[in-house]
Amino acid sequence: MKFNIKEVREICKGVRSAASRLALQPKLDGWCARCSMAIAKALVARGYKPELCYGNFNETHPHCWVECCGYVIDVTATQFGRYPEILIEPWELNHPADGDVNRYPEPEWRLGELEWDQVDKQFKDWIVNHPTPEIVEQLLAA
What pLDDT score does 32 carry? 87
- Listed by start position, the domains of the chain span 5-126+133-137
What pLDDT score does 121 carry? 63
What pLDDT score does 137 carry? 76
Specify the pTM.
0.80
Q: How far apart are CA 50 and CA 76, in angstroms?
A: 17
Per-residue pLDDT of the chain (142 residues; tens, 9 = 90+): 799 999 999 999 999 999 998 887 778 888 888 899 899 989 999 999 998 888 877 667 788 889 999 899 999 988 887 788 999 988 776 655 444 445 566 766 666 666 656 666 666 555 556 566 677 777 778 6
Tell me which H or E stretch contains 57: strand 51-57
What pLDDT score does 31 carry? 87
The number of beta carbons lying within 10 Å of the beta carbon of residue 40 is 29
73 SS3 class = strand
What pLDDT score does 101 carry? 46
